Chains A and B, each alone.
Chain A
Amino acid sequence: MIQQVENPILEIHDLTVSYDQSPVLWNVDLSLPEGKLIGILGPNGAGKSTLIKAIMGLVQASGGYVKIFDKDLDQVRNRISYVPQRESVDWNFPASVLDVVLMGTYGKLGLFKRPGKKEKELAHSCLEKVGMSAFASRQISELSGGQQQRVFIARALAQEADLYLMDEPFAGVDMATETAIFQLLQEMSKEGKTIVVVHHDIHSAMSYFEWIIMLNLHLVASGPKQEVVSEELLRKTYGGKLNLLTKVTDLIRKKEFNPLKN
């Protein structure tokens, strides 16, 4: 069940991504509507984070292309905001919460320029939206997991983008934070923002997202929740890796060169 849309905000065409030449995503082909809260679901190692990274150009695609707002990534970068996984950074870095949120304004500032009063005000208002105003001058190493996640989301908000790509924003987060973040995402989508979220918990995904993408090395489904969520598709997504596909991956990895490279 893969539903394509007219005038998509994001179009992924036959995207294949490999790490060290073994493919982790096969021929993903989908398009996403504007202004929706979209969840990417799939088991561990299904390529969920890789899909987001490929959209952001952080990993090289070995085939296919991505169009955002019908343009190339580099032309619209300042309209896209990316939230990496919380574990991907060293939280012992000597910085305050405000310093991290200010990084969200760097894209518009460009190189060399330092954030000024305007940027600081923006950062403070973003911290307020995630309920972290009181922590602005706090050292980031003192934060709990949920607070770190809120800081990352505040940083993404400071980019004032139209499309948000979030990698596991609910991972390792307490229930109160999860609800708060979800409410914030809902408000944002009401304002017309499109939010794509990598998510691991299938139960909460059913209530959180309007549009669901199911991945398991290949695209299993993409469409409105009601139409996508069926027992058959869930089994296809979570029912273990496709045996044949894994065998092909092994075959490719054992070659001395990358046979998929153009």
Chain B
Amino acid sequence: MEDFLYFFSFQDSSILFIVMGITLLGIGSAYVGTFSFLDNKALLGDAISHAVLPGICLGFILAGEKNPFYIVGGAIFSGALATFLSSWLKENTKLSEDSIIAVILSVFFGFGIVLLTMIQKTGNPEMAGLNQFIFGNAIGILEEDLWVYGSLSLLIILTLSLLLKEFSLLVFNAEYGKAIGFPMKGIRVVFNILMILSVVIGIQAIGVVLMAALLITPGAAARFWTDRLGTLLILAALFAIISGIVGTYISFIIPQMPTGPWVVVSLSTLALISFLFAPKKGVLFRFISRQSYLKKTHKEHVLKSLYKAMEKQKSGLQIQELLSMYPVHKTETLKSIKTLNKINQLTVKEGFIELNESGKKEAKRIVRLHRLWELYLNEYMNIAPDHVHDSAEKLEHLITPELEELLDNRLNYPKLDPHQENIPRDHDDH
């Protein structure tokens, strides 16, 4: 608790600095990553982030110490080389995109690990910090490094905001952009540079192995909540900031704990929450709406059966009779009877069920939709009368009043369905 207060009260200016840095980093990489996610190029970010490792090591070897400019320069160089190579291979060979990305990722990362091991063998005392580039350590970032990463993040955010319309065009319809004379190839190059930069700014805080998660997961999680690009970008940035700060905090309270994995854990939690609970697209929402639809169908089946009994001149049905009609759904049918009784659509007296006035009206509506649809299938789609029932069983729960009106109109307000059964209407006698 003490640690918590110490960290979040920001009385330590170095912590404040790091949190600000992580915030900028989160916004920058979430912005770029959301676009590459929308462009279905999520794997490219993973390849680039692995590919910057040899550049970092080369920068270190050249400088002989952990100089941020050398390291960032080296990372940009090898990231750019990887990006260039992957597009060159795509244009000049018949290899598929995923195999190219797999090759680039493993070759560059493997080479990077070779260099890293070589540096370890030299016994350079500065070496200790270099391991942080694999899984990241936000707390270990020096203030001078922070200035470099922070200003690069700002550059990314500004460029993206300035070119928002161009990047949307690139992702949605690049060919059209070319047709109206926009330099789409140049815009693609700028985007790739931003992608490399956003990987580079994250290497020390998050690490090369897990940087792709900070690029892609925020956008993917935010996509569950919204269909608007603006909201999507803001939400993605927010997710990235939250998980960045969580990761940093854990690195702060547990010494030697890398930041990257904790950022990924908290991002995944946010993604899981989105996947489960987001309205409309979330699993829970879809489950609930399916359940309530099923409930509605069970109720409508009960009403329909009672109405059909009335057509056979019975006043109602015994509960047992009704249950035997739906042997698989006995519990649901019993529940439906209870609810319908509660909303006063039917009356149960000593195990005998009768429809009330409002229930009869509703039952008529369902039977009418069923038979109208059967007639439509028969007349307009030339489907034999003995083949139309199954489709009508489903559509009777779905057809809206507008569609009903349209059907009635097309079929010229018919009286009989293909089985010569009456299509019931509200003003009928019974």
- A141 contacts chain B at the CB level, 8 A cutoff: yes
Residues of chain B lying within 8 A (CB to CB) of residue A135 = none
- A125 contacts chain B at the CB level, 8 A cutoff: no
Task: Choose among B162, B164, B178, B182 the residue that contacts A57 (Cβ–Cβ < 8 A).
Answer: B178
Known contacts: A112-B162, A114-B165. The answer to whether A58 contacts B180 by CB under 8 A is: no
Interface residues in A77-117 by Cβ distance below 8 A to B read 77-78, 80, 82, 84, 88-90, 93-96, 99-100, 103, 106-107, 111-112, 114-115
Most A-side CB within 10 Å, residue of B171, B179, B229? B179
In Å, the complex CA distance between A197 and B135 comes to 56
- B181 contacts chain A at the CB level, 8 A cutoff: yes
In Å, the complex CA distance between A60 and B159 comes to 31
Residues of chain A lying within 8 A (CB to CB) of residue B171 = 93
Residues of chain A lying within 8 A (CB to CB) of residue B228 = 94, 96
- B223 contacts chain A at the CB level, 8 A cutoff: yes
Using a Cβ cutoff of 8 Å, how many contacts connect chains A and B? 69
In Å, the complex CA distance between A89 and B177 comes to 12
- A133 contacts chain B at the CB level, 8 A cutoff: no
Question: Can you name the residue of chain A whose Cβ is closest to the Cβ of B178?
Answer: A58
In Å, the complex CA distance between A96 and B171 comes to 15
- A139 contacts chain B at the CB level, 8 A cutoff: yes
- A159 contacts chain B at the CB level, 8 A cutoff: yes
- B377 contacts chain A at the CB level, 8 A cutoff: no
Known contacts: A88-B173, A94-B232. The answer to whether A56 contacts B227 by CB under 8 A is: no
- A74 contacts chain B at the CB level, 8 A cutoff: yes
Known contacts: A107-B181, A159-B180. The answer to whether A93 contacts B172 by CB under 8 A is: yes
Question: Can you name the residue of chain B whose Cβ is closest to the Cβ of A103?
Answer: B169
Q: How many residues of A contact B (CB 8 A)?
A: 28
Interface residues in A33-84 by Cβ distance below 8 A to B read 56-58, 74, 77-78, 80, 82, 84
Question: Can you name the residue of chain A whose Cβ is closest to the Cβ of B177?
Answer: A106
Name B's interface SS: helix
Q: Across the interface, do A84 and B172 meet the contact criterion of CB distance under 8 Å?
A: no
Q: Across the interface, do B175 and A111 meet the contact criterion of CB distance under 8 Å?
A: no
* Interface size range on B against A: 20 to 34
Q: Across the interface, do A106 and B227 meet the contact criterion of CB distance under 8 Å?
A: no
Q: Across the interface, do A106 and B173 meet the contact criterion of CB distance under 8 Å?
A: no
Task: Choose among A84, A93, A115 the residue that contacts B175 (Cβ–Cβ < 8 A).
Answer: A84
In Å, the complex CA distance between A111 and B175 comes to 16
Task: Choose among A58, A95, A115, A139 the residue that contacts B179 (Cβ–Cβ < 8 A).
Answer: A58
Known contacts: A94-B38, A94-B232, A95-B229. The answer to whether A56 contacts B169 by CB under 8 A is: no
Residues of chain B lying within 8 A (CB to CB) of residue A115 = 165
Question: Can you name the residue of chain B whose Cβ is closest to the Cβ of A115?
Answer: B165
- B69 contacts chain A at the CB level, 8 A cutoff: no
In Å, the complex CA distance between A84 and B180 comes to 12
Residues of chain B lying within 8 A (CB to CB) of residue A74 = 181
- B10 contacts chain A at the CB level, 8 A cutoff: no
Most A-side CB within 10 Å, residue of B38, B169, B226, B227? B227
Task: Choose among A58, A95, A114 the residue that contacts B172 (Cβ–Cβ < 8 A).
Answer: A95
In Å, the complex CA distance between A95 and B162 comes to 18
Question: Can you name the residue of chain A whose Cβ is closest to the Cβ of B162?
Answer: A112
Measured CB to CB, the closest approach of chain A to B390, in angstroms, equals 26
In Å, the complex CA distance between A82 and B228 comes to 26
Measured CB to CB, the closest approach of chain B to A116, in angstroms, equals 12
Known contacts: A94-B223, A106-B169. The answer to whether A78 contacts B181 by CB under 8 A is: yes
Measured CB to CB, the closest approach of chain B to A64, in angstroms, equals 19
Contact mask for chain A residues 220-254; partner B; CB cutoff 8 A; 1 contact, 0 none: 00000000000000000000000000000000000
Most A-side CB within 10 Å, residue of B40, B169, B180, B181? B180
A sample of 20 inter-chain contacts (CB < 8 A) reads A56-B179, A57-B178, A58-B175, A58-B178, A58-B179, A74-B181, A77-B180, A78-B181, A82-B180, A84-B175, A88-B175, A90-B40, A94-B38, A94-B228, A95-B172, A106-B177, A111-B182, A114-B164, A115-B165, A139-B227
**A-B pairs with lowest CB-CB distance, top 5:** A107-B180, A82-B179, A77-B181, A139-B227, A93-B172
